[in-house]
Structure 1
Amino acid sequence: MDKRIYFLMIISFVIGMVELIIGGILDLIAEDFNVSIGQAGLLITVFALIFAIASPILLVMTAKVERKKLQLVCLYIFFSGCIVTVFAPTFTILFIGRIILALSGALLIILCLVMAPSLAGEQYKGRAIGIVSMGVSASLVLGVPIGLLLGNSFGWRAPFVLITVLTALSIIGVHLFMGRIEPKPQIPLKQQLSAFKNHKITLGLTTTFLYITGHTIMYAYFKPYLEVTTDFNANWISIIYLIFGIAAVFGGGIGGVLADKLGSRKTMVIALIIFSALFFVFPYSTDFLPVYFIIIIVWGILSWAISPAMQIYLIEIAPESSEIQQSLNNSALHLGVAVGSIIGAGIVDTLSVKVNPFAGGILITLSLITVNISVKSKKKTSYKTKSAI
């Protein structure tokens, strides 16, 4: 397989880190700019919201641009967003930096996913997409512990200095190693949105949105939750985040294996039952550390184990338009991150961070209801895939 595919995986990891890396340093940012934890959490919200909405739109708008050229343009814009973030003198400037990073990062991730199959042979296309996707998932779950370690040691700007350096190296790498890749015909946005006419697909996407929203309500504010409910110091909190991240990375593989053995439907239902129960039990386990750590590990595994099962499920529903479903599922995931961080911020600022796991559990329980309705409803194909124009 073309080694440049692994380079695309590295780029996707660097870009993906920016989204949630800020979750572990919200308190440091809030203190520096004299804002509340909830207000600082909006930095996660704006990024995820733009990411969810912009990626399919920008992909259509740039459908005719040569891929290496487009990737370099996006990387330079992303680099400028890193510079704005690192040197932001006010919270408003930092917010603008997040918008720049989100707009360029949204297209960069999709570009990596699109370019990978073009570099792989026909027999390796699926594996190529999987390798790039692994970079994205790893960045989302490892970004927070990396940010936490660097932020506590050198200040909240340090993680973004690292990302700035890695982005600069990525730009050099694209210049040196990536050849021209001509664009392929893209699926029109109108046709992508027509997938919502299929109720099973709509309910599946709603499931992704709900469980990620519930997960984010807790995960985006996990550090302040630990600080309020436990006596763990900064080092122990970093270790907990690292344990969670490793568990989450393995969760994607475990979810794929379970989906193959048990079927996508059964895997999703079982995983969501355990997932929702964990959030309601979590607040009562802080006095029993072995149980507490087991719950954190299982939570980490389940947070990404559901995703491959859902992807397989969406492909099974309408294999002729599977690429559309994958794109929309990605948007639903990031929209869930955005909404979850908003809800979590509201709870933290108006009630207490101790309420977050219960709110998250309610959303995940709702996702269990939607996935059951989707699985049990009759298959309805209300649209046909048209040739891309």
Structure 2
Amino acid sequence: MDIRLIWLAVGTFAIGVESFAISSLLPQIADSTGVTLTQAGYLVIAFALANAFGAPVLAALTGTADRRRTLTLAALVFSVGALWASFSQGYFDLMAARVLMAFSAGLYTATAQATGVAISSVDHRARAISVIVGGTTMAVAFGAPLGALIGGLVGWRGAYLMVAAFGVIAAGSIWMLLPAGLRGAHLPLRQRIAAIGIPGVPVALLTTWLYMTGGFTVIIYIAALTTKSIGLPAALVPAVLLSFGIGAAIGNVVGGQLSDRLGSRQTIIGAIVLSAALMFGISGVVHLPVAVVGPVFFGLIFVWGFVAWAFLPPQSSHLLGLSPTNAPLVLSLNASALYLGIAAGSFVGGLVLQNASVNDLGWIGALFPVAALVLTVVAAPGRERLTGEMRLG
């Protein structure tokens, strides 16, 4: 494996740590900044929207720039944003810092994937993308629990200092290891957005959006769910995230393997069905005898992490199969759909907390993958190019 791909993945790891650890930090942030938990959730929405809409624009503007400089600068700006967040003075100051982080994160991820493809041979391009995306998976598995642990020990500001350090490490490594002069082709924003019109892509993007909306309705408020609904101590929130993360890391690998063996469509449908069932189950845990609530909750979270992350490799494989020659474009659009799902899930979760109870997060979140299932089944396979799909290794 090309060692440069590993260091590109360090940057996606840093971004992933911040994106997923914040779910455990929101109660602290709400208390520190004097806002409600729902208002603290708007920080997630701001980050996700800035990432979703900023990434295509910035990628178009920097498409022909030296990729080593672009990646290094993006990682450093991300670190500056994390430092700003750590020393922020109030809610809106913190939100501005996270918006800056989101812009740089979106640019970094899009450029890192394009760079991984550029420095890899044709028969290893999908594998290169999977390595870089794997940085996010590792962040879910280990970075988010680590951020939650540090947040519990020294506060949420300390967690942002850790994120800034990861960003600096990624920037230094990329500057030393990537060759200078590596540039991409100029792809205007109109051409990037036009990829939405590829047959089958709109349905796939809407499926990603619905799926992520449901999942993030729950996961963003996992700390509140763990403590207020399940009744576990706050000290166990990092363990809950670790359980989810380990399941996600395994599910990411198994999802790719199942996609190779069974086909992406079958794997996607299976992940959607199981994810919806597990989220319904999370809302039902509180009705079990007190003695088993904790163990069953941990078990459900582990299996949910496995199933939730098993969706992403076959979905990427499906999109690549729809248009292999436009791989960077369709994957970039899928990333935007993913972050729009994060924003929508945070918003829906906030509405649930305002108008219902924290225990309702699970079953309400489950409605979105149910809608994704209906969409996927109704979309006739004959109208999409389902053969010759490229598998992510």
Q: Name the counterpart of 2:274.
A: 274
1:173-212 matches, within 5 Å, as 173-198=173-198, 200-212=200-212
Q: Work out the CA distance in 2 between the residues paired with 1:132 and 1:380.
A: 26
Which stretch of the first structure deviates more once superposed, 110-119 or 259-268?
110-119
Q: Count how many residue pairs are aligned between Structure 1 and Structure 2.
A: 381
Which stretch of the first structure deviates more once superposed, 284-293 or 103-112?
284-293
Q: Name the counterpart of 2:241.
A: 241
Amino acid at match of 1:17: V
Q: Name the counterpart of 1:60.
A: 60
Q: Deviations over 1:114-172 (max 9, x none)?
A: 22233334443332222111002322454432221111111111111111222223333
Classify the secondary structure of the residue corresponding to 1:65.
coil
**Where in structure 2 are there 5+ consecutive unaligned residues?**
387-393
Any conservation in 2 of the 1:199–1:374 contact (CA below 8 Å)? no
Classify the secondary structure of the residue corresponding to 1:285.
helix
CA displacement at 1:380 relative to structure 2: 7.8
Q: Work out the CA distance in 2 between the residues paired with 1:343 and 1:135.
A: 27
User: Percentage identity across aligned positions?
Assistant: 27
1:281-300 matches, within 5 Å, as 281-286=281-286, 287=288, 288-289=292-293, 290-300=295-305
Q: Name the counterpart of 1:6.
A: 6
1:1-389 matches, within 5 Å, as 1-198=1-198, 200-286=200-286, 287=288, 288-289=292-293, 290-376=295-381, 378-379=383-384
Classify the secondary structure of the residue corresponding to 1:120.
coil
CA displacement at 1:202 relative to structure 2: 0.9
Any conservation in 1 of the 2:8–2:174 contact (CA below 8 Å)? no
Classify the secondary structure of the residue corresponding to 2:26.
helix
Amino acid at match of 1:372: V
Query: So what's the TM-score if we normalise by structure 2?
Result: 0.91
Q: Work out the CA distance in 2 between the residues paired with 1:18 and 1:98.
A: 10
Which stretch of the first structure deviates more once superposed, 236-245 or 151-160?
236-245
Amino acid at match of 1:329: N
Classify the secondary structure of the residue corresponding to 1:157.
helix
Q: Name the counterpart of 1:385.
A: none
Which stretch of the first structure deviates more once superposed, 62-71 or 192-201?
192-201
Structure 1 pair 271–122 and aligned structure 2 pair: CA distance change class (3 A): closer
Any conservation in 2 of the 1:265–1:375 contact (CA below 8 Å)? no
Any conservation in 2 of the 1:20–1:44 contact (CA below 8 Å)? no
Q: Work out the CA distance in 2 between the residues paired with 1:177 and 1:360.
A: 43
Q: Deviations over 1:280-313 (max 9, x none)?
A: 2222224334443332122101111111111222
Q: Work out the CA distance in 1 between the residues paired with 2:380 and 2:299.
A: 30
Query: So what's the TM-score if we normalise by structure 1?
Result: 0.92
Q: Work out the CA distance in 1 between the residues paired with 2:22 and 2:308.
A: 19
